[in-house]
Amino acid sequence: MTAVSTEFPPSQGQVSSRRPPSQVNWGDRAFKVTTAGFAILIIVTIAAMALEMLTASKLSLREFGWRFLTSTDWNPVVGTFGALPFIYGTVVSSLLALALAVPVSIAVAMFLSEMAPPQLRGPLAFAVELLAAVPSVVYGLWGIFALAPLMRDHVEPALRAIFGFLPFFQGPNQGFGLLTGSMVLAIMITPTITSVSREVFRAIPRTFREAALALGATRWESIRTGVLPVARPGLVGAAILGLGRALGETMAVTMLIGNRPEISASLFAPSYTMASVIANEFTEATEDLYLAALAEIGLLLFAVTILLNLVARLLVWRVAGTTSGGRA
Amino acid sequence: MDMRNSQRLFVSRPSLFSGLPLLAFALFVLLGCESSKGRPSMETGSQPGTVSLNGAGATFPFPLYSKWMSEYNKINPDVRINYQSIGSGGGIRQVTAGTVDFGASDAPMDADSQAKASGTIDHIPTTLGAVAVSYNLAGIQGLKLDGDTLTQIFHGKILRWNDAKLAALNPDLKLPDQAITVIYRSDGSGTTAVFTDYLGTVSPAWKAEVGVGKSVRWPVGLGAKGNEGVTGQLKVSPGSIGYIELAYALQNKLAIAAIKNKAGQFVLPDVAAVTAAASEVSLSEALTASIVDAAGPGAYPISSFTYLLVHRDAKDRRKGEALARFLWWALHDGQKFSSALHYAPLPASVTAKVESRLRSLTAGGQVLLSGT
């Protein structure tokens, strides 16, 4: 018996480093090293990207310092660069897109996971995934020829008529502006938020809903009291993932947002995002400071995106933690 | 006890199929190596007679260069020229860094870029182009503008189409009471450089407040990406005005404004008007010149040269000679392809100067083109 027990490893199949070479499973070790290598490669790639952007933007960091984040003057002819209009445009368009997309997406996810009849579930989920498959440029083209005229001729005048007392809906409207850009972003991030929300709803055990139903709740009340409070961290995580996508979206936005580095209270006014300015001006920038300024904008965007994705991950894991834990 | 039993279950017997993936991978790698050795190399000298040239730069002349390179390849099958239209800025960067054999730019290189290059880089004017001012006004054709009104529109000082200054230039048109939507290029481009060069030439106020360049800070308007973006926005925005390459305006059937030139005539952009703009030009020593607001009858005021950038002293003699011969062909036979693509052929005075520059190109000190 004792002889047999030494032939098997003490832990579950893991190769212990103290085993003699004849008993080491070399195939397993090679497998582990290879897959670990690929995983580390990903981390190295991200670190290399960050380092590369820091190096590329050194000139601009030194020249402008913190002024870069507060100045609104973007003048390539004179050589002064300030990123505030782009930060404003990126943040406002993304948040507005989120505000428009989240209610719709969560409603769709709720319908798909709770209420849809089984025959409808498949096709509807597929249709939502299709939205994600449409290329960004196609959204932009559709926006130029369909959405922008619609906004200019119908939606924006209506908003001005109803909400014109607010500064957000005043001023001239040309169809191409912050509101149109946000609308197309909202359509583009809906599939992301819907799929993650659907997974979040699916992760919640049925017992939560059944408990509420057993106490006499209606369908809506059982979802509101049984499912939503538990799902909330996960839904917030889904929303932040959508926000992350919205922050980086380039082509569709640059075709519809008007590309004007100006901060204006009106949502009808044109604006500019960080990703758009890099896509527009990088190929023709020849001066070193200009290139460095654009690289610094890339660095800003990179930092913001990583930060938001980190927050999203933590929140989504929290849901998985509470539901698979010991909650009675 | 249970652990050991479950482990025993997962011990697989070596079978015929276990080594198959590894074998397939090894075969794949070997075959890949074989085929890459057998593929003819694209480098000069591997296959005697084939010279491969790489160039990159401006998007504006890309249709013409593309036509030239394919036509030249028909005549000289042993010379293959590849051109990537990545933008003037990219072209300047690549030729300075030496990663391409020649570059292309609408605007001449500035002193900083010249300093970064090893050796002198020559500008070879290849063709002429026009920047058209297009507008979208229902039922209005034949709009006339002059430098002053055009600048004021883009400067945000003239805001409506029925402004008195516009009405004065167009007494026979019924201009509507509509807001003017200015559309500019959001990406850096040679087209913007030419257009702002014109505005800066006719208006000192523009030059002081906005400036000239591939990217400027536009006082008013919306930005669209690329000539195609501006064209798209012009088409869907009533009351808009923008500047695009002539070919785009013609192919999309957009209304084009006639601009008043220095001689006082209202001229529409066409091939003859652009060639007229360059006819009285005096090129600088570097063979560059700005021909906006050109003097001379029939000249279109918003025209420009576009240049190919080549090293004055080529590193590789075979490539340098092939490139010089191609440029000679483009300067003479190539010009007949220009008009069909809405580019203007070079006037005779310019051709003569470019010929003498081409004759002075060398490789390692030795002249490339002899006996032409």
The C-alpha angle with vertex B56 and arms to B53 and B59, in degrees rounded to 5, equals: 135
**To the nearest whole angstrom, how far is the Cα of A269 from the nearest Cα of chain B?**
9
* Residue B314, beta-bridge partner list: B363
CB atoms within 10 A of CB A289: 17
Q: How far apart are CA A144 and CA A138, in angstroms?
A: 10
Q: Output the pLDDT for position B101.
A: 93
Largest CA distance in chain B: 103
Helix A288-324 to helix A228-248 angle (10° resolution) is 160
pLDDT of residue B35: 46
Residues of B in contact with A285 (CB under 8 A): 89, 188, 215
**3-state DSSP of chain A:** CHHHHHHCCCCCCCCCCCCCHHHCCHHHHHHHHHHHHHHHHHHHHHHHHHHHHHHHCHHHHHHHCCHHHHCCCCECCCCECCCHHHHHHHHHHHHHHHHHHHHHHHHHHHHHHHHCCHHHHHHHHHHHHHHHHCCHHHHHHHHHHHHHHHHHHHHHHHHHHHHCCCHHHCCCCCCCCHHHHHHHHHHHHHHHHHHHHHHHHHHCCHHHHHHHHHCCCCHHHHHHHHHHHHHHHHHHHHHHHHHHHHHHCCHHHHHHCECCCCCCCCCCCCECCHHHHHHHHCCCCCCHHHHHHHHHHHHHHHHHHHHHHHHHHHHHHHHHHHHHCCCC
- Which of A225, A218, A273, A232 lies closest to A251, judged by CA? A273
- CA separation for the pair B7, B325 (Å, rounded): 75
B-chain residues within 8 Å CB-CB of A148?
236
Percent of chain A at pLDDT exceeding 70 = 91
Q: Which helix (H) or strand (E) holds B85?
A: strand B79-85
Query: Contact A316/A196 with Cβ under 8 angstroms?
Result: yes
According to the model, what pLDDT value does residue A132 have? 87
Establish if A320 belongs to a structural domain. Answer: yes
- Residue A282 structural domain: 86-327
Q: What is the pLDDT of residues A239-293, one digit of tens each?
A: 988 998 899 899 999 999 999 999 999 999 999 999 999 999 888 887 889 999 9
CA B341, B342, B343, B349 torsion-angle sign:
positive
Please check the confidence at residue A205 and state whether its pLDDT lies above 80: yes
Residue B230: closest CA among chain A residues belongs to which residue? A255
Chain B residues in contact with A12 (beta carbon < 8 A):
3
DSSP B233-281: HHHHSTTEEEEEEHHHHHHTT-EE-EEE-TTS-EE---HHHHHHHHHT-
- Let me know: does A254 contact A273? Beta carbons within 8 Å: yes
A68-71: long-range contacts (C-beta < 8 A, 24 or more apart)? A68/A293, A68/A296, A69/A300
Strand B258-260 relative to strand B144-145, pairing = parallel
Residue A171: pLDDT over 60: yes
Q: Is residue A248 part of a domain?
A: yes
Q: Give A-chain residues touching B187 at CB under 8 angstroms.
A: 279-281, 283-284
pLDDT of A4: 47
Q: B219 with B194: CB under 8 angstroms?
A: no
pLDDT in tens, B87-133: 888 888 899 888 999 999 988 888 888 888 888 899 999 999 999 99
Are A89 and A257 in contact by the 8 Å Cβ rule? The answer is yes
For residues B302 and B198, the answer to whether their CB atoms sit within 8 Å is yes
The domains found in chain B, sorted by start residue, are 3-34 (no CATH), 51-127+306-367 (3.40.190.10), 130-303 (3.40.190.10)
The A-side interface with B (CB below 8 A) comprises 8, 12-13, 73-78, 141, 144-145, 148-149, 152, 172, 174-176, 254-255, 258-261, 270, 272, 276, 279-281, 283-287
Q: What is the maximum span of chain A, computed from C-alpha positions, in angstroms?
A: 88
Q: How far apart are CA A120 and CA B116, in angstroms?
A: 64
CA–CA dist A277, A259 (Å, integer):
8
Quick one: pLDDT at residue A315?
74
CA distance B351 to B348: 5
**Is residue A72 in a domain?**
no
pLDDT in tens, A279-328: 998 888 878 899 999 999 999 999 888 887 787 778 767 766 654 433 33
- The answer to whether A283 touches B87, Cβ cutoff 8 Å, is yes
Burial letters A2-12, b for 16+ CB under 10 A, else e: eeeeeeebeee
Pair A326, A244: CB distance under 8 Å:
no
Q: Is the pLDDT of residue A121 over 70?
A: yes
Residue A251 to chain B, least CA–CA distance (Å): 9
Q: Distance between CA A131 and CA B116 in Å, rounded?
A: 47
> Percent helix, strand, coil in chain B (nearest 5)?
40, 20, 40
Alpha-carbon gap, residue B237 to B275, rounded angstroms: 32
d(CA B183, CA B242): 5
Map tokens 């505000």 to a residue: A99
Mutate to test the interface with B, among A145, A178, A286, A291 (most CBs of B within 10 A): A286
Give the predicted TM-score (pTM) of the model: 0.80
Tokens of B205: 């106020």
Residue type, A114: E
Judged by CB atoms closer than 8 Å, whether chains meet at A12 and B3 is answered as yes
| CB contacts, 8 Å: A279 with chain B | 187, 225
Residue B166 Ramachandran class (φ > 0 left, ψ -120 to 50 alpha, else beta): alpha
Which three-class secondary structure state does DSSP give residue B345?
Answer: coil
pLDDT value of position B47: 54
| Rounded Cα gap, residues B71 and B337, in angstroms | 10
Residues of chain B with pLDDT under 70: 1-48, 365, 370-372
Mean pLDDT over all residues of chain A?
Answer: 87
Strands B121-136 and B255-256: antiparallel
Residue B242, Cβ neighbours under 10 Å: how many? Answer: 28
- Please name the residue that has the structure tokens 């925005």: B237
Q: What pLDDT was estimated at residue A107?
A: 93
B188–A259 CB contact, under 8 Å: no
Please give the single-letter amino acid code of residue A5: S
Number of structural domains, chain A? 1
Measure CB to CB from residue B213 to each of A8, A76, A175 and give the nearest one.
Answer: A76
Minimal CA–CA distance to A311: which of A263, A239, A254? A239
How many residues are present in chain A?
328
CATH code, domain with A159: 1.10.3720.10
From the centroid of its chain, how far is CA B316? 26
Q: In what order do the strands lie in the sheet with B266-267?
A: B144-145, B258-260, B266-267
Report the distance separating Cα A88 and Cα A96, nearest Å: 12
On whether residue A69 sits in a domain, the answer given is no
Query: How many beta-carbon contacts under 8 Å exist across A and B?
Result: 100
A270 and B86 within 8 Å at the Cβ level: the answer is no
The number of beta carbons lying within 10 Å of the beta carbon of residue B128 is 25
Q: For residues B278 and B345, give the distance between their C-alpha atoms in angstroms, rounded to a whole number.
A: 10
Q: Report pLDDT for B21.
A: 62
User: Amino acid letter at B251?
Assistant: Q
Residue B184 host element (H or E): strand B181-185
Residue A29 domain-assigned (yes or no) = no
Nearest by CB to residue A76, choosing from B3, B216, B232, is B216
